[in-house]
């Protein structure tokens, strides 16, 4: 028999290296510092982004407040519009009333006037003599010293017209004016040649001396009557 061996045999394997504790600490410290530095950079980036975001929010907030303020102002203006419209309507009505009253007063001031159209203009003309000839043709006994307040030419309503200026004959008495105008309107074919203008055969016209507004009104009424085939048109003079 073989004798038994006493004792144990060591297991074979890689040899373990012993790292000093201080070196381990140094490695851990370096890793931690690197992680902290990376974390710090991340924090700084986040702070920068947050600051930018805060500025953007502040800008948007300011813009919103400005827009909101302008909207409120605009809304206030909108609330005023109906009041302004009402005031404009009142002013327009007042202006129309004033224009109407002024037109009535102006027409009243012309109540003794006769407007004569078609008398040719010439230098040194004697209008009193001309209207006396017209009155004679109409069979009206005109006494210039008693009946006539004044006689003159006025600018035509159409400033660009090449026609002679109208002659305005103003009477002292409206009733004498009405009498003469009634007789003048019977002269359907009286011409300039009949009162001393042998080379001018233009027809003479006699009317009440209307204001500009009333002339336009009469013109429109006549046009409407023509469209409607009316034979006569009546219009109050004053």
Are the CB atoms for 202 and 192 separated by under 8 Å?
yes
Q: Per residue in 69-113, pLDDT tens?
A: 888 888 888 888 888 889 999 999 999 999 999 999 999 999 999
Which pair of tokens denotes residue 126? 């004697």
Question: Which residues have CB under 8 Å from 189's CB, separation 6+?
Answer: 203
Predicted TM-score (pTM) of this structure: 0.64
Q: Per residue in 51-79, pLDDT tens?
A: 888 888 888 888 888 888 888 888 888 88
| Size of the chain, expressed as the number of residues it contains | 238
Q: Regarding predicted confidence, which is higher, 163 or 120?
A: 120
């Amino acid at each position: 028999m073989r004798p038994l061996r006493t004792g144990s045999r060591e297991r074979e394997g890689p040899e373990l290296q012993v790292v000093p504790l201080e070196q381990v600490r140094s490695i851990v410290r370096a890793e931690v510092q690197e992680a902290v530095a990376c974390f710090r950079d991340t924090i700084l980036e986040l702070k920068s982004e947050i600051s930018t975001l805060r500025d953007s929010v502040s800008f948007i907030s300011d813009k919103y407040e400005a827009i909101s303020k302008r909207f409120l102002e605009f809304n206030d203006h909108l609330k005023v519009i109906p009041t302004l419209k009402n005031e404009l309507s009142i002013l327009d009505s007042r202006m129309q009333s004033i224009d109407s009253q002024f037109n009535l007063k102006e027409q009243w001031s012309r109540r003794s006037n006769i407007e004569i159209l078609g008398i040719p203009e010439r230098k040194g003309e004697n209008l009193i003599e001309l209207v006396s000839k017209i009155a004679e043709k109409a069979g009206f006994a005109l006494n210039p010293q008693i009946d006539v307040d004044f006689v003159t030419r006025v600018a035509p309503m159409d400033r660009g017209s090449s026609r002679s200026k109208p002659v305005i004959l103003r009477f002292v008495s409206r009733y004498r004016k009405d009498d003469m105008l009634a007789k003048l309107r019977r002269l359907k074919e009286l011409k300039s040649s009949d009162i001393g203008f042998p080379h001018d055969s233009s027809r003479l016209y006699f009317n009440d001396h209307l204001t500009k507004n009333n002339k336009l009104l009469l013109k429109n009424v006549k046009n409407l009557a023509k469209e409607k085939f009316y034979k006569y048109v009546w219009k109050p003079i004053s």
